[in-house]
Structures are given as C-alpha cells and as structure tokens.
Structure 1
Amino acid sequence: MRRSEFAELADHVFGPTLSRTYTHDLVLEEIDGLTAAQALERGVAVRAVWTALCDAMDVPETSRWEIPAAQRRR
C-alpha cells in the first residue's frame, strides 16, 4: 500500500475533512500512541497505519479496502 492509496481511501471512508483531522489529530494506541501522520513520517508501514486508523474508528473490514470505480480519483 502506498501513501497515495492511504490518502485516497481515507478521503473515501471518512470524507476529505475528517480524514485530515483523523490523520493528524487522532492518537492511535495500536501504533505506540502516534497519530497516523506521525507514524507515516517515522516509517511505519502504510498498511499498518491504515489498519490501526480503521480499527480505532470501527470501520468494518468490508469498507476498508475498495473504492467503487466511479468514485476513484483519475
């Protein structure tokens, strides 16, 4: 998973405004009490950060990985 995919999925799952808020402000215990942005800067695997963010926000597994083709960025 690339950082661009992380950003696209976060925007899709949470909406553009909340995805930025959650990424920069939400402390994720699963990744040593870092925010997603801090974890990514420190080199934590993007997939691990995405999973921790989804777990923290109770995003169902079925909603985590797929963006419908009509809604994908081009």
Structure 2
Amino acid sequence: MKLSDFWERMDETFGPAYARSVASDATIGQLGGRTIDQALAEGENAKAVWMAVCRAWPERIPARLVR
C-alpha cells in the first residue's frame, strides 16, 4: 500500500482533521504501543499500520476498506 493510499483511507474513515489527530495522539497496542506517526516514521509498512488501525477501530472502518 502506498502511503498516499493509507492517508486517503484515514481521511475517509476519520475525516481529514481528526485523522491527523488520531495518527499523532493514539497509541496502538498492535504497533507496539506506538502512534501511527511513530510507526510510519520508523519504517513500518503502511499496509501493516492500516491493518492495525482496522483492528483498533473496527466499528469505524468501512467494510470495503478492510483489506
């Protein structure tokens, strides 16, 4: 997954402003307790980060984006 695709999915799921807040503030256990921004900055694969987001917020993710 391209990083641009990742951010499009985040924006669609949370809204553009809130997506950035989630990425910088929320820690995700699946990412080793890191934030999305930290995981991406440390080289984590965007697809792996997206799947962690899907598991952390299953009720928010549109079914067509869970892949």
Q: TM-score range by the shorter chain?
A: 0.7 to 0.9
CA distance in structure 2 between the partners assigned to 1:63 and 1:14 by the alignment: 15
**2:62 maps to 1:64:** no
Q: Which runs of 4+ in 1 moved over 4 A?
A: none
Q: Give the CA RMSD over aligned residues.
A: 1.9
Identity of aligned residues (%): 33
The number of aligned residues is: 66
Structure 1: tracts of 5 or more residues without a match: 67-74
For 1:51, what is the secondary structure of its paired residue?
helix
TM-score by length of 2: 0.85
Structure 2: tracts of 5 or more residues without a match: none
**Structure label with greater radius of gyration:** 1
Residues 9-33 of structure 1, C-alpha deviations (whole Å, 9 max, x = no match): 1001111111111111110100110
TM-score by length of 1: 0.78
Alignment of 1:32-51 (within 5 A): 32-51=32-51
The letter of the residue matching 1:2 is K
